[in-house]
Amino acid sequence: MAFAGKVWRLLVGIKDGLSLVFLLLFFSLLYAVLTARPSPAQIREGALLLELNGSVVEEKSQIDPIAALLSGTLPAGEFQVRDLVHALDTAATDDRIKAVVLDLNQFLGGGQVHITEVGAALDRVRAADKPVLAWATGYADDSMMLAAHASEVWVDPLGGAVIAGPGGDRLYYGALLERLNINARVYKVGTYKSAVEPYDRNDMSEPARENANALYGALWEEWQANVKKARPKINLDLVTKSPAEWIAASKGDLAAASLAAGLVDKLGSREEFGARVAEIAGKDDWDKTPGTYRSTELDAWMAGNSVDTPGEAIGVVTIAGEIVDGDAGPGTAGGDRIADLLDEALNDDLKALVVRVNSPGGSVLASEEIRRAILRHKANEIPIVVSMANVAASGGYWVATPADRIFAEPETITGSIGIFAVIPTFEDALAEWGVNGDGVRTTPLSGQPDLLNGFTPEVDAILQSTVEDGYTDFLTRVSESRNMTTAQVDEVGQGRVWDGGTARQLGLVDQYGGLTDALAWAASEAELEDGDWHPKFLGSTPDGFNSLLGSMLMGDEADARTGTDLFGMIAQREQALGARVVSDLDRLMGGRGMQAYCLECPVTPASTSGKDAGFFAKLVRLFAD
């Protein structure tokens, strides 16, 4: 028995040892996969293929692994604008690249500033005598704006192009909330601060309509000017002013109508388009499938063309997406996360700091937390520059106030200087079912805030006073930053949203320019010569886990082409409608504190990881503000 026991313990020891070895091998392999990058050896002579199955963004969103694994799907693909611009600029000067191919069949769009930046990079490719070819089943506003910079624009004979222009309806829930006896208590400052209107109105107010008309009109003029410059032969008046007659003239054949209006150059299937690309880039010797050609994809190209980092570092912090309390992001601007990134960079001996903003705003508390972190860098007596992308409004403008100089583009949406909060209470709904509240108070605030039985007049007064004080703080910060009086800021404030061109005239922006211009100005102010500095993007280390998770979940999904003809575009709008309703309800019921948020600005999906202590805690914060 003793001998048998020793043998058993030996076998158990061998088993434990082998288990340990296999665990070490497993985790070593997992680490290798997580840190793996595409090999530069994958770069092939031929075309640079930009298969934009998703949207162009300022900063890629973080994948929620639990939600992704449970659903078995990933969010739509995202492509950082700076990656696309870098890829195109390096391709323009690389002899291995004979052409650039834009596959826009599943392109979901991007803001006008981002599309303009990528379009300018495409122009530089063409200036280097390299053709740019685009193909899609269907083109909409954003994809058409991008494709306009191509040498040849192809569309599937069963597809076509439709231009809608900015604007459209949004949902108003005032009558519904009244029918449900839900009291949406609105606290705001700003005649034009329309973000609360969906909850206490059934339609758009006249001030909001006036503001939206001016804003969207300016954006539409910029869109048309960009497309007409890139594609002079296009007949936009025909396409946009009489769309039904335009399509009827081609007997309902949208592809033929698109060709006639100069929106596209050629009709052809993906296989026919691929054969055309192969004439320029060469046939693919590895794959004989019809429509293939020699190409290098974006990830492999970026891996083999890393950004140079000479000399001193100029920090770049990205504030992208809705500004929320907590650690949310990337892709959502969690106040704690961004402030931590900025504080960690205090030890990096940065020569300047560029704040890249692409946000419609959000939490006042989080915006102020970010602003204070930026000021800690300013205390080091380094230049602080703000670069506005598609949108830098409300809280997005709040965080820009420490800047020595603000750069924006004519298409940038900014301003929206105003504050609001909206809180639902349910006393009327409960009373309808015979439920009433009663009790004893020692002060007017006893038992408050009471969401079920309503607020006392004192609570309403305190909340409105808090919002008014927040607006005064906003005016003061802008006044000190822009060398304006608070009265002057109030005149351009009141929640009004401005396009970048008008904002520059009003003094809210200093000059036109993108991130490259902002970096160059910061370097000049820091007395750095060209070639003696590089941008250091704070917190932008590639996430290997996201890449692995994406590969696991997507599988061959990229090869499962989805049709995007006119009816497919309508279906995509239907899916987006559900997300918009959820977002509206979350803004009402989500327990947010004071908000500096722009309703007219493009909606940015928010990550739930940024939510913190909850509804009641945020109500308490309203009193503490």
CA distance readout (Å), 361 to 127, 298, 457, 526: 38, 31, 29, 29
- Please tell me the distance from the alpha carbon of residue 565 to that of residue 264, in angstroms, as a whole number: 15
- Could you confirm whether 193 is annotated as catalytic? yes
- Please tell me the distance from the alpha carbon of residue 332 to that of residue 587, in angstroms, as a whole number: 15
Angle at 453 between CA 449 and CA 457, to 5 degrees: 60
- Please tell me the distance from the alpha carbon of residue 186 to that of residue 440, in angstroms, as a whole number: 27
Output the six-digit token pair for 302. Answer: 């970026």
Phi, psi of 606 (to 5 degrees): -100, 145
- Could you confirm whether 266 is annotated as catalytic? no
Q: Are strands 384-393 and 333-334 parallel, antiparallel or unpaired?
A: unpaired
**H helical segments located in 310-391:** 335-344, 364-378
DSSP state at residue 306: P
- Please tell me the distance from the alpha carbon of residue 245 to that of residue 261, in angstroms, as a whole number: 12
Q: 12-33: string of b/e by CB count within 10 Å (b at 16+)?
A: eeeeeeeeeeeeeeeeeeeeee
Q: Map residue 156 onto helix, strand or coil.
A: strand
Cβ(539)–Cβ(315) under 8 Å?
no
CA distance readout (Å), 334 to 59, 316, 318, 388, 470: 13, 16, 11, 18, 20
Query: DSSP string spanning 254-290?
Result: HHHHHHHTTS-SEE--HHHHHHHHHHHH---SS--ST
Catalytic residue among 194, 295, 359, 394: 394
Q: In the 3-class helix/strand/coil scheme, how is 408-423 assigned residue by residue? A: ECCCCEEECCCEEEEE
Q: Map residue 163 onto helix, strand or coil.
A: coil
Number of Cβ atoms within 10 Å of the Cβ of 538: 20
Catalytic residue among 60, 188, 193, 536: 193
Q: Which amino acid is at 382?
A: I
Residue linked to tokens 């990337």: 330
Number of Cβ atoms within 10 Å of the Cβ of 619: 19
- Give helix then strand counts, H and E, for the chain: 24, 22
Across the strands, what pairs with 266? 154
Query: DSSP string spanning 19-77?
Result: HHHHHHHHHHHHHHHHT----GGG--SEEEEEE--EEEESSPPPP-HHHHHHHT--PPE
Residues ≥6 apart with Cβ < 8 Å to 230:
119, 123, 148, 149
Q: Which of 298, 390, 332 is nearest to 52 (CA)?
A: 298
Which residues are known catalytic residues?
193, 394
